[in-house]
Amino acid sequence: MTGFVSFIGSGPGDPELLTLKAVDRLKRADAVLFDDLSSGPILGHARPGADLVGVGKRAGRKSPKQHHVSRLLVDYAQESGRIVRLKSGDGGIFGRLEEELTALKDANIPYEIIPGVPSACAAAAAAGIPLTRRLTARRVQFVTGHDVTGQLPEDVNLAALADPTASTVVFMGKRTFPKLLATLMEYGLPSATPAILAEGVSTPEQHITRHTMASLADHLSREISDQPALILYGPLAS
Q: Which is catalytic among the residues 14, 35, 87, 174?
A: 35
**What is the rounded (10 degree) CA torsion for 131, 174, 35, 97?**
60
Residue 57 annotated to the active site: yes
d(CA 235, CA 238): 6
Q: Which is catalytic among the residues 14, 87, 90, 172?
A: 172
Please answer whether residues 111 and 191 qualify as being in contact, where contact means their C-beta atoms are separated by less than 8 angstroms: no
Phi, psi at 37, each rounded to 5°: -75, -5
d(CA 189, CA 162): 5
d(CA 175, CA 162): 19
Q: Which is catalytic among the residues 57, 163, 185, 218?
A: 57
Q: Which residues are catalytic?
A: 35, 57, 172
